[in-house]
Amino acid sequence: MRARTRSARNRAVVLAAVASLGAGLLAGCADDGGDDNGSSSSGDGAGDRTTITLGLFGTMGFKEAGLYAEYEKLNPKIKIAENVIERNENYYPPLLNHLATNSGLQDVQAVEVANIAEIVDTQASKLTDLSKAPGVEESTWLDWKWKQATTDDGQTIGLGTDVGPMAICYRKDLFEQAGLPTDRDEVGKLWAGSWEKFVDVGRDYQKKAPAGTTFMDSPGGLLNAVLGSESEKFYDSSGEVIYKTNPAIKAGFDLTAKAAAEGLLGKQTQFQPAWDTTIANSKFAAISCPPWMLGTIKGKSKPESSGKWDVAVPPKAGNWGGTFLTVPKSGKHVAEATKLITWLTAPEQQAKLFSVQGNFPSTPAAYTLPEVTGAKNEMTGDAPIGTIFGEAAKAIPVQVIGPKDQIIMQGLSDNGVILVTKGKSAKEAWETATKTIDNNLEK
């Protein structure tokens, strides 16, 4: 991705990322490859069916949850084809180029929440205003989710799929061996209201930790959780970059660096093979856990870990994950594509998606549906995950999001706090991170 100066916009929105609960799936990864250069077509050899193409990244779960098949059954003249790129960092730059040239676009294009501000700021004119689409009502979505994809003049260019309300997933067996409580309510009370308390619990854990284990999985995991719970982060409400001057960012960085220096955190970068191995071998006791993380845990764990996890409320509510579906105006089947995504993002379909894939709904009406209230996960046994994540979603703070949030977050994590596990001081790590980020923002 390439940095770009953001135009000033007085618009408060909240951070969110997407992934799935399917076995063997990593956040941001997909089962199948492909590219986003395909085009819509009619006449696929099955009569006069109209093919609607979707450009997606990762495993968004629509196919896996059977939603395409269900929609095609309801609409016999429609065929759905998805073109998937494995990771958003490989999907988004080409999408920007296609939007800039207004060519090579699918009928539907997904946009990750960390990129939605840039799309709203610079590419809204290329996308359909969905606020006027039949069956679309603003009140269907969480207020902050709707605002993320809305321009200053009231155009809404994306319908929200999921959100990522954070919890803390923890290993009951490892907590017990370290002398900590295992009941989720008692665990939540240990760190209620403060990430500093959370790190203190990590210190208590490490005193009696089972050999070879750390309290938490990684520096990036902790930093993402801490910063994701702040109401103001990398940008202010006028659109100015403030990550270096915002005291909350430096405090969160220093807290994470201190935890890393004390050996409370694993030395891996999340979603890399070495990190996968720490899950498989039960090498950490806790992890920042939006709903989709349960799918990653399930996919990377050995069978004997089933039922040994539980879910507790985090020190402060936050969000990690979420995506939007947009309809380019240049698409061949704008009306049909708009109808499709309106259906895919309705509460009933979002609830089904959660029950199968773990993508948590961005539509509050879904929170009372049985697919959510009765949701269970084999890794967490009888934990009422739908209720836990539903309450967390309602408590998420409204947050300013900027066009380069993803670049800044990755810089603070992968070029910053991770260095402390390799012998660098917190000061050196901060200097390296900010230099890397600023170089990217200037491009």
First to last CA, the chain: 10
Determine the Cα–Cα distance for residues 386 and 404; give it in Å rounded to an integer: 31
Q: How many CA atoms lie within 13 A of 399 on its CB side?
A: 23
Closest CA to 119 of 154, 90, 150, 84: 150
Per-residue pLDDT at 246:
97
Return the closest-CA partner of residue 167 out of 62, 3, 317: 317
Residue 312: strand pairing partners: 168
Q: Please check whether residue 150 is in contact with residue 46, taking contact to mean a CB–CB distance below 8 angstroms.
A: no
Q: What is the dihedral of CA 111, 342, 390, 112, to 10 degrees?
A: 0
Query: Per-residue pLDDT for 13 more than 70?
Result: no
Q: Let me know: does 56 contact 115? Beta carbons within 8 Å.
A: no
Per-residue pLDDT of 350-407, as tens digits, reads 999 998 888 999 999 999 999 999 998 889 999 999 999 988 888 888 788 888 888 9
Region 276-284: what's the mean pLDDT? 97
Give the integer Cα–Cα distance in Å for 171 and 298: 13
CA distance 111 to 323: 6
pLDDT tens digit sequence for 251-267: 999 999 999 999 999 99
**Distance, CA of 344 to CA of 394 (rounded, Å):** 22
% of the chain surpassing 90 pLDDT:
77
Q: How many residues does the chain have?
A: 443
What does the pLDDT read at residue 47?
64
Could you tell me whether strands 159-165 and 78-85 are parallel, antiparallel, or unpaired per DSSP bridges? unpaired
Structure tokens at 221: 């995991």
Q: How much is the pTM? A: 0.80
Mean of the per-residue pLDDT values for the chain?
88
Q: How far is CA 242 from the centre of its chain?
A: 22
User: pLDDT of 139-175, one tens digit each?
Assistant: 999 988 999 999 999 999 999 999 999 999 999 999 9
Q: In angstroms, what CA-CA distances link 67 with 20, 83, 173, 348, 408?
A: 15, 16, 37, 11, 35
Residue 186 — φ and ψ, nearest 5°? -65, -40
